Amino acid sequence: MADTPQSLENKVALITGATSGIGEMLAVELARRGAHIVYTGLANSTQIDALNTKFASSSGPALFIPADLSAPGDATALVTTTEAKLGRVDILVNNAGVQHVEAVDSFPTDKWDLIMAVNLSAVFHATRAALPGMKSRGFGRIINIASAHGLVASPFKSAYVASKHGVVGFTKAVALEIAAEANLTCNAICPGYVKTPLVDGQIKDQAAAHNMTEDQVVSDIILAAQPNKRFVEAHELAALVALLSGDDGRSFNGAALSIDGGWTAR
């Protein structure tokens, strides 16, 4: 392995959901390694200006492409627009995700549809659109941010758990289809809890629902699942994504990589 961090110079990295939380950190790290960042997410123009500055790299200025990933055509258009503007997608990080916590017998059907569309179907549409170009150029990395909930379940998260198990299964199927290609891989990352706006929302909701303080929710509910009793740091995920993205990552294929402080080892 190289002594210095792998360079991703001149690679085009398309990252969904990079306007917040984990995706934002992934974009910062891939940009630091020289990748040309293309990203989407829900954000206003002031936020996008700030993110463009944050994600600029030696390969060029960052490019924001608006997309609502709950609409099937938008995930496909994200890839085709990137190819039209920058010539290719080398690294596709399917990271955008949404959550809703409620018992299955009262789970709102529109929330089910939204979670399936953003967390699972958009991964299919973007992957489907990106693979032909990756195959023709002989290089491609598809990295799907699943979850520990892609491997195990928790109550009241039926749609999220189903969507993330779907992402892990989809990842394995794609990996087998591309295994004979020269330098193409598809992997899933399964993080435990990372402190982002998505989790902050759950902490607030649980505190209200159980009449607990937010600190109690963190220690007694959220981190109860994680044996190391601390949140996963987004920069730890970013280091793993960077490894998978470069040449040192070429033998990972079809993996569901746990990074969860021991949660799924139980």
CB 171 within 8 A of CB 144: yes
Among 91, 118, 143, 203, binds ligand NAD (CB under 6 A): 118
Is residue 110 close enough to count as binding ligand NAD by CB under 6 A?
A: no
Is residue 42 close enough to count as binding ligand NAD by CB under 6 A?
A: yes
Q: Which is nearer to ligand NAD, 139 or 150 (CB)?
A: 150
What is the closest distance, in whole angstroms, from the C-beta atom of residue 3 to ligand NAD in the complex? 31
Is residue 98 close enough to count as binding ligand NAD by CB under 6 A?
A: yes
What is the closest distance, in whole angstroms, from the C-beta atom of residue 98 to ligand NAD in the complex? 5
Backbone angle region of 257, left / alpha / beta, with phi > 0 → left and psi within -120 to 50 → alpha: beta
Among 23, 133, 140, 261, binds ligand NAD (CB under 6 A): 23
The DSSP line for 125-136 is HHHHHHHHHHHH
Residues 168-197 that bind ligand NAD (CB under 6 A): 191, 193-194, 196-197
Is residue 82 close enough to count as binding ligand NAD by CB under 6 A?
A: no
Among 249, 203, 199, which Cα is nearest to 33's?
249
- Marked catalytic residue, from 39, 64, 139, 160: 160
Among 22, 120, 129, 244, binds ligand NAD (CB under 6 A): 22
Among 55, 52, 49, which Cα is nearest to 34's?
55
Separation CA 44–CA 27 (nearest Å): 18
Separation CA 58–CA 36 (nearest Å): 8
Q: Which is nearer to ligand NAD, 139 or 144 (CB)?
A: 144
Known catalytic residue at 160: yes
Separation CA 35–CA 15 (nearest Å): 11
Is residue 40 close enough to count as binding ligand NAD by CB under 6 A?
A: yes
H or E element that contains 32: helix 21-32
Q: Measured at the alpha carbon of residue 137, what is the angle toward residues 133 and 140, in degrees to the nearest 5?
A: 70
Strands 140-145, 184-191: pairing kind:
parallel
Q: Which is nearer to ligand NAD, 61 or 72 (CB)?
A: 72
List residues near ligand NAD by CB under 6 A: 17, 19-23, 40-42, 67-70, 95-98, 118, 145, 147, 191, 193-194, 196-199
Q: Could you list the active site residues?
A: 160
